[in-house]
Amino acid sequence: MSYLEKLIRAISTDGYDFATGSRIMPESDAKRPFKREFASRGYNSMVRLFLHSKLYDHQCGFKAFRRGPLLELLDEIENQHWFWDTELLVRAQHRGYRVLEFPVYWRHGGSSKVNFAKDIVGMGSEVFRLWWELFFPGLFSGKGKIFLTAFLAILILALAATFLGASEVLENIKHVSPGTLALASFVYCASWPLRGMRFQQILNRLGNHYGIGFLTGSIFISQSANVILPARIGDLSRMYILKKSKDLAFTTSFSSLTVERVFDIIAITFIAILASSGVASRLELTPWMESLIKFSGVAVLLFFAALFILSYRESRNKKKGKEKVHKNISGEPLSKIKEFASTFIRQMSVVAVRPGAFLAVVASSLLIWGMDIFTCFLVLKAFPAAGVDMTSTFSISLVFLAVALGNIAKTFPITPGAIGTYEVALTAVFVLGGIKPELAFTVAVIDHIIKNSITLLGGGLALSELGFRWREVLSTNTDTLKGM
């Protein structure tokens, strides 16, 4: 406490906005265990390097703040845990506030609430997060992220069209059959109630019963958000709608959405494997095709392996009576996490592991994706210049393979709605199958335009019907869901 006067005087009379003691300055007299000293110096060095801080020690608990500058920075600070004071001091320096750091005499107290494995990883990610925010403000968050990813999607399409010949693409569009495109649109529209029925199947298994119309509308809205927003953030919109409209628990909506996504991958992977055997006589899969199929298959296997292991451990814990221990500490954050994980695993197992539920959802998923592929098949058929025998096993398998790989590519959230990446994947497969590059690209673009247009139109109608607004669902994030 001999340093208290110096700490307060720095703020009250010496003109500093922030003051902090330091255990790491060369003049400091601090003793603590090697492990903590090593971790602290490594962490603070990383802060100095990446966040351009001039301070030696950001986490010494001996600090003083001038009220005005502190209140101005509080709204900018996102972290409310161990990284809080680091973020405060770094932001203060970047804003030009005067910060005093002085050496102190300090001894390790012998106890700490720091969890090295968890907190060090967490603070490392926070350093990375703050680095993006300070040096690339607005570019990778909010509207900046949407603008960047949308620009990337347009750039991919523009480069592909330029490379293949924009005039040839336009010439192909002139000879398209409007009637066949209309039929393709009708088929894709018909697939949406099936999506609602599948989601209803999943929720029914979890003891939640809602109408197909409501569920189809919620899917329309979330998929529309996925067309607009990058990284499948739109899935949060469906969770928001289910919570606000039906008061569905966050755990249940999360597990049901996870099941839906997993069964999508199962169906697409199965179709890709089946289609690859159908084109084997005339087309040898390239390394990137094989990699996509293997990636998808391995992801499914890992998911079910993890689910079986976790389900087994959960059942063993219940037999040993460990759930009683959890109830005794129900107020602790760790207990809440365990409770959430336990509920999530149990709900996932109800649908994903039980044979009857598994087969029912697989069948509906295959039907949904079969209609998605049939839509693309009709789009290709609408172009007479393709010169493809649409009744041959090879041509049918080629379309199945192209759409399956295009949708596997969608799992890499590079652009909103995978615009650009989907077209490139379809075009590549079609070209390898003997279709002219400019025609293959035209088919891929038209196919995706039809699907995204119907999705956005259906999403707009569903918003009106369910009483939501675009701004409301597009701004949904995890913090919004936690606060509901």
> How many Å apart are CA 47 and CA 45, to the nearest integer?
5
Write out the E strands in 45-132.
63-65, 99-103, 105-107
Within a 10 A sphere around the Cβ of 286, how many other Cβ atoms?
12
Is 85 designated active site? Answer: yes
Classify 29 as helix, strand or coil: strand
- 244-248 long-range contacts, CB within 8 A, separation 24+: 244/484, 245/214, 245/218, 245/466, 246/208, 246/210, 246/214, 248/208
Within a 10 A sphere around the Cβ of 164, how many other Cβ atoms?
19
> How many Å apart are CA 359 and CA 354, to the nearest integer?
9
Contact (CB, 8 A) for 358 and 351: yes
Given CA atoms 102, 103, 109, 115 in this order, what sign does their dihedral have?
A: positive
Residue in 295, 293, 262, 264 with CA at minimum distance from that of residue 276: 293
Question: What is the token pair recorded at 480?
Answer: 């919004």
Q: How far apart are the first and last CA of the chain?
A: 44
Residue 189 CB-half CA count within 13 A:
10
The DSSP bridge pattern shows strands 18-22 and 63-65 to be antiparallel
Q: How does DSSP assign 150-208, residue by residue?
A: HHHHHHHHHHHHHHH-HHHHHHHHHT--HHHHHHHHHHHHHHHHHHHHHHHHHHHHTT-
Residue in 112, 172, 205 with CA at minimum distance from that of residue 439: 172
Among residues 14, 17, 29, 85, the one annotated as catalytic is: 85
Question: What is the token pair recorded at 24?
Answer: 């790491």
> How many Å apart are CA 315 and CA 179, to the nearest integer?
56
Which residues are designated catalytic?
85
